[in-house]
Structure 1
Amino acid sequence: MNAFVHPSENRGHVKMGWLESKHSFSFGNWYNPEYMGVSTLRVINDDLIDGHQGFGQHPHDNMEILTCVLKGTITHKDSMGNHGGITAGEWQLMSAGTGIRHSEMNQGDEPVHLLQIWIIPNERNAMPNYQQIQLDPHDAPNQWHLICGPNDNAPMHIRQNAEVKTAVVIKGQKLPIEATQHVNYVHVISGKVQIAEHTVDAGGALGFLENSELQALEDTQVIWFDLPEHIE
């Protein structure tokens, strides 16, 4: 298999007071020219946010911003009038379009653990949009769960020819990886997997073009990005 291996230890590690973050790709003050994204996937930040802290009001435009809360609750507020909590097992997709301002705050005492994911859209300067769903793969393990995609059957609609799926896979179980687009990128949230001859630990990832199969070497949670070959 011709694969792009991204070990967890090669991620950027940023600690600034209330925020500890591990960056899969160059972001903010951490820059590595070898890690600038894969296809239209530009950001995977693994964030740990202290209690009563968070990201104050700030702007975005022309980016699809997906948030996966793994532990705790983050409170979202934006310039479109959306305001409420996103709890572990829930997903938020914010299509920034022509521009949006938002904040993401941990109003509790315990840290919040989340993934912040950015995907470059194939439509610029569209109307901003906000979507949120409940989808905890622990409730139905050993199968792929579609989070967002370009078609109407997806739980959330993304402005890109891409699908994002997640799964919890019990040790010893296998799942097929069969792309609808061209580029597969599998990020391991927790546990350990084997894909073809490659072993990937928590925080690591594997990018590849061929269809393949994932085997859980431990109880595992993964997120699979099925991406276009080129940025449109």
Structure 2
Amino acid sequence: MIEIRPANERGKANFGWLDSKHTFSFGSYYDPKHMGYSALRVINDDTVLPSQGFGTHGHKDMEIISFVTQGVIEHKDSMGNVQTLPKGEFQLMSAGKGVTHSEYNASSTDVLKFLQIWIEPDSTGGTPGYQQKDFGQQQGLTTVITPTGENGTLKIKQQATVSQLYLNAGTQQAVSNADNRKLYIHIVDGQLQLEGHTLTNGDGVKIADMSQLDLINNSEQSLVALVFDLP
């Protein structure tokens, strides 16, 4: 099963300082056909004006991932973390029994673009946690988030993994999928050929009941995507 989620059909929200595209229902955007996929609940594609951002607000029982595609996030939270998150780095905040944080565009001149991703945890409560890491831009598939934190990955409270995919022009990557698992692929930048479909910036695809896939970049530019392996 392959189900495409076209970028131009996503929900939209514009508050002046924030322009956001919602892959799944979020805030004032509600579509019962797009409530998430497995444990993947939110993918928001956010553009934030210079020196603007999200004031202090709270979360509970959610695994929150940020991936910057342009600019730098200035992050502060109730755990005492004061961090900057530049382009290409992954941040994973486990909200647990409750956490507050703020996120701002660290630049006074340039826009910030990032993906805000929520994955529902497989256990609730617990002590909140914060993790951040740059995994580089190695060609092919690089696992960045796992349930165990193995091999230097960030550790998530869910039986899910997240991988980054970098493909140079004219290259491809084979991906295997267990029978009882689901995959979701989100295109960050570039063009992907998948089973006769062409996916571009902001597009997503739900995948189930397919044991082997070839992810192909036939374009003349490099490809960046995120691959979610879900229960």
What is the TM-score when the length of structure 2 is the normalising length?
Answer: 0.94
| AA in 2 matched with 1:220 | L
The equivalent of 1:217 in structure 2 is 218
1:191/1:217 contact within 8 Å kept: no
The residue number in structure 2 matching 1:19 is 18
Matched residues in 2 for 1:203 and 1:124: separation?
31
Q: Which amino acid aligns with 2:63?
A: E
Contact 1:150–1:162 (CA<8 Å) still a contact in 2? yes
- The answer to whether the 8 A contact 2:161-2:230 is kept is yes
Q: CA deviation at 1:76?
A: 0.5
Work out whether residues 189 and 223 of structure 2, in 8 Å CA contact, stay in contact via their aligned partners in 1: yes
Q: How far does residue 179 in structure 1 lie from its aligned partner after superposition? A: 2.7
2:138 is equivalent to residue 135 of structure 1 = no
Structure 2 counterpart SS, 1:36: coil
Distance 1:82 1:69, change over 3 A: same
Matched, 1:226 2:224: no
In the aligned structure 2, how far is the partner of 1:207 from the partner of 1:12? 17
Deviations 1:108-154 (A, max 9, x none): 121111000000000111210000001232xx22x111110112315
Q: Distance in 1 between matches of 2:218 and 2:44?
A: 24
Matching residue's letter, 1:125 = G
Aligned equivalent of 1:56: 55
* Aligned with residue 150 of structure 1, among 144, 147, 150: 147
SS at match of 1:144: strand
CA distance in 1 between counterparts of 2:204 and 2:193 reads: 11
Residue 159 of structure 1 is matched in structure 2 by 157
Residue of structure 1 equivalent to 2:83 = 84
Offset at residue 201 of structure 1 (A)? 1.6
Q: Is the 8 A contact 1:187 1:223 kept in 2?
A: yes
The corresponding residue for 1:172 is 170
State the alpha-carbon separation in 1 of the partners of residues 23 and 158 from structure 2: 20
Letter in 2 for 1:145: T
Aligned to 1:96: 95
Aligned to 2:112: 112
Length, aligned pairs only: 224
Give, in whole Å, the separation in 2 of the partners of 1:107 and 1:223: 24
Moved over 3 A (4+): none
In the alignment, structure 1 residue 192 sits paired with structure 2 residue 191: yes
SS at match of 1:9: helix
What amino acid maps onto 1:159 in structure 2? K
Name the SS of the counterpart of 2:150 in structure 1: coil
Give how far 1:63 is off. Answer: 0.2
CA contact (8 A) 2:149 2:156 kept: no
CA distance in 1 between partners of 2:129 and 2:56 (Å): 17
1:28 corresponds to: 27
CA distance, structure 1, for counterparts of residue 78 and residue 226 of structure 2: 29
| RMSD between aligned residues | 1.2
Deviation at 1:198, TM superposition (A): 1.9
User: Are 1:65 and 1:95, in contact at CA under 8 Å, matched by a contact in 2?
Assistant: yes
